[in-house]
Structures are given as C-alpha cells and as structure tokens.
Structure 1
Amino acid sequence: MLHELIGLAEFTKLCVVVAVATPIVALVWAVARPPHRHKAVLLALLGPANLALWALYNRITNRFGLDTVRNLAINVGLFVTLGVLGGIGYGLLESRWPKDTRPDESREAEP
C-alpha cells in the first residue's frame, strides 16, 4: 500500500514552526547587522506569509477539489500574480535602499 511521505498535518505543523521561527531569526539578524534591518523585516514577513498562503491554498483546493482544472487555474493565477507583485515590490524597495547597505560583489571576491 502506498502512503504519503509527509501528510497534510505534518506540513501544516512545519509551516507553523517556520512562521514562528522566521521573525525570531530576523530579529537576531537585525540586531547583528543593523544596516540590513530592512531586509530582516522582509525575512520576518516571509514565514507568516507562507503560512497564510498555505491556508489559502488549502481553502481553494478543498472548495474546488484537488484534481480540477478550475483549482489549477485559480492557484496558478494567484501565485503567479503574487510572485510578480512581490518581485516588483522587492525591486522597488531595493532601489530605494541606501547604496552602502547593498552587498558589494568586488569586496566579497577578495580573500
């Protein structure tokens, strides 16, 4: 008999742990590297956003069924739209950050 490698309950627990851990990790990062506080704030939002998107995905899938074209279309449209908007938003924020807080590739390449 075949069974899942990871079940719905286990993955939901993992998402909850990540949602709790990312703000803690972001706080440590913000304290350790104050010039990068803005990136730490974005990191702090990723875990809870992941949990919210997982819950939304489950609601959509439970409503329309796992194996339906409608479910696929809604989820693809939703996540592509959110990905594009997130990328545009991150690009706009990064362009407004002070230049001295951006990593410099030439300094990282030196031994």
Structure 2
Amino acid sequence: MIHYICDRCKRQINTNEQPRYVVQIEIHSMADEVTLDIDDDIDQLSELHQALEGLACDHLDDEPELDHRGSYDLCADCHRQFLRNPLGRDAVAAFGFSNN
C-alpha cells in the first residue's frame, strides 16, 4: 500500500477514508519585451543586433533559471485552506511590527 503525507501539514493521508488532492505548480520567469527606438538615420539591422546581444549578455549574468515545476499532496483540510488562500496572503498580513 502506498502511503501519502500532506506536504503542508505533514499528516498521513489515508486514501481509504479521505481524498488526496494534488496541487501542481509551474513557475516561469517572464522576460520583458524588447523595445527599439528606430530612427530613419540608424541602421535597423544593427540596432536589432545590439538589442539581441544585450539580451544574451543579460541572461548569462543572471542567477540560474528560476523556473520551477512541482507536485504537492494535500489532505482535505489543507486543500480547503489552499483554495481560500492559494498565495498565503493572510499569513504575511498576520505579522505585526512595532512603529519604531
């Protein structure tokens, strides 16, 4: 028998008694669009070549790829909580800091 653990609360999920929910998340980094200021006096191919070179160099200097794909098991309780607040915004707002 396969045993499943909720990735959120770490409780065992007994699939004979309760459903197991699977959340699949894909995160992709999105590059900004390239905009070109094209004048009649400037060689358009040269301008495009410079813009593409800049993109290639910027990409090499960045951190490793931040794309992510994951699959997570949730119990019924965590599934309901996830549907109410998928980005966890309430947890961030719950922190209170003094006005020093």
**TM-score w.r.t. length of structure 1:** 0.22
Higher RCO (C-alpha under 8 Å, 6+ residues apart): 2
Q: Compare CA radii of gyration and give the structure with the larger one.
A: 2
TM-score, length-scaled by structure 2: 0.24
- Could you say which structure has the higher strand fraction? 2
